Structure formats: C-alpha cells, structure tokens
Amino acid sequence: MRPRSYSLVHERQQAQDLDEAFELDGPGEFEPYDSHELDTFLHHSTSPQSDDDERSGDEQDLLPGAHHRDPSTVSLFSLDSIPMIPLSLSQARGPDLQKKVSLVNGLALVIGSMIGSGLFSSPGPVLESVGAPGTSLVIWLVSGIIAMVGALCYAELGSMLPMNGGETVYLNRAFGSLVSFVFEFVNIFVQKPGSVAIVSVIFGEYVSRIVFHTYFFSTPHDSDAAAELADSVIPPYLPKLIAMLCVVLVSVINALSVKAGIRAQDILTVLKVLAATVIAVVGLVILARDGSRGSHSFDGDLFAGYNEVSFGQYTLALYSGLWAYDGWNNLNYVSGEMKDPNRDLPRVIFIGIPTVIMFYLFSNIAYLAVLPSNVVAHTNTVAMDFGKKLFGTAGGILFALCVALSCFGTANATVFTSSRIVFVSAKQGHIPAFFGKVSSKRQTPQAAIVLLAVLSMIMIIPGSFKTLVNFYSVCAWLFYFLAVLALIVLRFKEPELKRPYKVWLSTPVLFCIVALFLFVMPFVEAPMESFAALGFTALAIPFWLVRVKYGEQVGQFWNGLVTKLNCHERCGCLPWHRILFWKRGGEGYERQHMMAEVDDV
C-alpha cells in the first residue's frame, strides 16, 4: 500500500474534487451539459474515451487531466486503484500532467494494488487444478512472470497514449469504435460486477465459517470434531446470502457519502496488508524452525503427476493465480505522472512485481508448511485453517475476520471506482442517462451504484468462486490480448507516435500468445462459463449498431415517431423514450431534449 501520508492526502483530495464537481450551481442542481468546467473535468479525469473523442497524436500529447487506466475487475482491490482525479478543476484544464509520482510512490501503487484477496482464496483452486505442491508453486511463479510481461507492454501503451480510459483508448486507436465500445460494455456489465461478486463470495465463505465455528467451538467437542461439524452444517445458501449482504452494505456506504467509502477503505487496506504479512512471516519462521510441522506437504515428489494434468487444468490454475496478481495493469495510472518515467518506470516494474512474486511464493510455502496439501487444495478458507492450526480456535477466527474485512474493503473500493465508470459512461451517452443521475443531497452516483449492486448479486446467485473467476477471466484475457495486440498494430500503423518507454517487439508477441492461450483453453475445460462470457461480449454489438453506427438515425426516427403519435402526452412514454434512446451532443439535435432530468435518486 502507499505510504499513509501520501494515501490520505490523495484520497481525501479525490473526495473533495468529486464534491466540487457535483456542486456546480448549488444544492439541487446538476447541469453537466451546460457547464464547461464539469464537462472538462469529467472528460479529462475520469471518463472512458469514446470514438467521438479520437484525436491526433499531437493533440493527445497535450491532453489535460490526470492519467488513468480503467482497471480490470479484479485489480481494484485497494484505494491504489481509484482513478487519479486532478487536484483541482483548473488543473484538469491545464495542458500538462502533474509530475508528482516518485519511484517510491510507483512501487507503493503496484505492490499495494497487486496484494489482495486472491492471496486468501486462490491457493486452493491452484493446487486442486495441478495436484502437487511443487507444481502449484511453479504456477504462482509463471503467473507472476506473465503479469510482469503484461505490465511492460501496458507501460509502453500508457506512455505512448497518456489519456484517460485505458483500453478504451488503445482499442479505439488501433481497431476503431466497435472494439472499444464492446470493451466498455463488457467492462461495465460483466467485469466490474464480476469483481464485486468474486470478493463478496470470499467474504461470505469466511463470515459463515466465523459464525458457525464460533458456535460449535463453544460446545463440548474436541477441536477437530468441532471444525468438521461446523463445516458440515453450514447451509450452502448461507455464504451467498452473506455475499449479497456484503454487496448491499458497500453500496449503501458509497451511496451515502464519497468520503465515507474512502475512510472505510483506508482502515480496511491496513488490515489486509497486515494479515498477509503475518501469514508470510509466521509461516516461513515455522518452516525454518520446525520443517513442515507434520503437514508432510513437502515430503516425497513435489511434482507428482505433473504430466497427467491437462492443458485446460493448467489454464484454470493460471486463471486463479493471475486473479491474485491482478493489478499489474495499474501501472498505467503512473506513467503519465511520474517525475522521471524513462528512469523510474522500468525500476517500478523490475523491483515491484518481483517483490510481489516473492510475497506470494512465501505465503503459499507458509500455507503448505503448516497445512497438508489436500487441506489446502479443498478449502475455500485457507487463511482460517492456517490460523487455527497455529493458534487454535481463536487464531482461526481472528485470521478469518481479517480476511473478511480485507474482502469487504476490496468490494468497497471496486464499487467506488466502478460506479464512477458507469456514471461517466452515462454522461457520454454510452448507456442510458438514468445511470448518470446524481443525488443532489448526497452528491453520489446512486443510480450507477444500484446498477452495479444488482448485477453483482445476479452473478452471486449461480456462481462459486471458481466459476466466477473462470467467467470473469475469459472476458479479461480477451481484452488483455486485444490491448497488447493494439500495441503491435500501432507500431506499424503509427510509428511516429512518441514512445517514452518502449519494449522489445518480442515482449508483446510473447504476451499475445500466452493471452490467446488463456482465452481459448477454458472453452474446453469450462465451456459453460466460457460461452456465457462470450455471449455477454457479443451482446455489445447490437448496442454498438444502435448507439454508434446508426445512433443518430435511430434516435431521430424514434424521436419523430413519438412526436408524430403524440403518445408522450397521451400515455407519458416520453421519459422512457429519453432513457432508451439517449444521444450524445453534436449529433444533429440538442442533447438535453433526449435526456431524462437529473434529480434526486
């Protein structure tokens, strides 16, 4: 995580800037399309780049506002992942980015955002997929190397196109509006809710075990019998109900106040890093002092059966490992704002990511040193089992509580950031205007928060941790592949673009091969989740046709039909007409006539 002084100042300033943006004309009024200040602020500090915003290379070099990459779901697990909003509205209009991010700040961003809830949830699925402790550690190492190669590629993209919107910008520049629109659609309706759903499921698993273990350990059973009894009687629906409650709670926090969400996150991030550090240090001390302490995980052949594992199973193991490493692409926050990117950016990558790799390796070795490999492979709450083995019942519950709070913080940060992405997309006209409404009382994008909450809870109902990760990862790796492919395309399409940081061409080629493999193989091993994810992705194409390709014609036709039938007076359907066929400005008619009024949610 970032140094505390840096984190608090930066995060509180974000809340102040959002409050300033939402209070343009006093309480109760919000006029985004008549206010040049807010249009400039939103467009250059938080909004994804649409196809209408395509600029020449020279113009992009002067783009105002703070650099921001729209991070993937699973990467938004701390406030390090919150969009970097300019420190003032005047700065957002300025021609230059603020060069305030040092080497230490960059390292804090990368390490803080990569170490997250995956540390407490992914070891089991990884080991279950490959079967042997040694092979699972190799998977963790390979996952870290893939993350590092991807970070190098994204560093070039971020320094070449220091613009807000991340993949939206890169895909639009290389492939046009269709691919970038599909990414934005999937990001809002699949990846962001999927991220919230995954960490909420982890939260539900840990909290349900805290409740039942506390009860059964208070009864006259011996420790092992009580643990078995507690796990056996947990209703299968209970973790899902608790997960949905988690979604509701974080949504309420973020809907009530911007500052409330930020303050809650500050505390929860400290707990996350503390719990992860204790696991790594304590486990390694025990391994050095007592060996495997009876776990026998490191006895015999550490790579037994590696040649019997299918490519598909290796892919699923990599998915779980890469989920834990997600956050490597957050370097795109930093590239446009580093004091000396040419010197510091490679250092951040080559120091920060190997540090995270070693942290994950040590933590997994610690788990295996204390717990038998079959326990690690089949538990959803490995940190709780780890704490219980070392410190008894109280230790298990304490570790579980820390992990649950960490997951709650992860969900909180994801809802905070993702709701702003939904909000800005609505203001750009990419999704219905209703989701761009802002509460004049609370000054939060409550409609966007509600949308994310509903989508997240829908995903929680049928999904387990493993199925949700598979579903999410198919979409994520499709667009990781396309984004890095865009780097290769732009090398030939626009060789004149300034590239302050440049990787060897073999680096993106290697990453594209791996990413394509990670995208294709789950269709063999997990076809249901994979085809469902692909189907959701394909749903974006009709929306693109209606909104971008033929958007003006469709909007004018519908507007004319409603006016001709005069049904907005007879049946009151005009508000729905405004919501369903929203339009962006500059497309032949006034934007405000096609938008629902912004009022209290």
Residues 6+ apart with CB under 8 A from 356: 110, 111, 114, 115, 144, 325
* pLDDT for 523 beyond 90: no
The per-residue pLDDT for range 295-324, each reduced to its tens digit, is 567 777 788 777 788 887 888 888 889 988
Phi first, then psi: what are they for 83, rounded to 5°? Answer: -55, 140
Q: Cα(106)–Cα(153) distance, rounded to whole angstroms?
A: 17
Query: pLDDT at position 43, please?
Result: 42
User: Average pLDDT of 437-458?
Assistant: 84
- Give ∠ CA 53-56-60 in degrees, rounded to 5: 75
In the chain, the percentage of residues whose pLDDT exceeds 90 is 11
* pLDDT for 86 beyond 50: no
* pLDDT for 540 beyond 50: yes
User: Average pLDDT of 279-306?
Assistant: 73
Which CA distances in Å does 532 have to 68, 378, 393, 465, 528?
30, 26, 41, 16, 6
Query: pLDDT at position 397, please?
Result: 84
CB-neighbour burial class of residue 411 (10 A; exposed 0-12, middle 13-18, buried 19+):
buried
User: Average pLDDT of 57-79?
Assistant: 35
Give the pair of three-digit tokens for residue 251.
């949504």
Q: Are 243 and 201 in contact (CB under 8 A)?
A: yes
pLDDT band at 265 (very low <50, low <70, confident <90, very high): low
End-to-end C-alpha distance for the chain, whole angstroms: 34
Q: Cα(283)–Cα(272) distance, rounded to whole angstroms?
A: 17
The per-residue pLDDT for range 395-421, each reduced to its tens digit, is 888 888 888 887 887 788 778 777 777
The residue with greater pLDDT, 78 or 301, is 301
Query: pLDDT at position 333, please?
Result: 52
The residue with greater pLDDT, 50 or 497, is 497
The residue with greater pLDDT, 226 or 133, is 133
Residue type, position 294, single letter: G
Q: Cα(163)–Cα(47) distance, rounded to whole angstroms?
A: 10
* pLDDT for 593 beyond 70: no
* pLDDT for 500 beyond 60: yes
The per-residue pLDDT for range 203-262, each reduced to its tens digit, is 888 888 888 766 555 544 444 554 555 556 778 888 899 999 999 998 988 888 767 666
- Map out the domains of the chain with their CATH numbers: 4-549 (1.20.1740.10), 550-601 (no CATH)
DSSP secondary structure of 280-298: HHHHHHHHHHHTTTT--TT
Query: pLDDT at position 546, please?
Result: 81
Q: Write down the mean pLDDT value for the chain.
A: 71
The residue with greater pLDDT, 276 or 580, is 276
Q: Are 320 and 125 in contact (CB under 8 A)?
A: yes
The per-residue pLDDT for range 364-384, each reduced to its tens digit, is 988 888 888 888 888 877 888
The residue with greater pLDDT, 20 or 125, is 125
3-state class (DSSP) for residue 338: strand
Q: Cα(101)–Cα(463) distance, rounded to whole angstroms?
A: 39
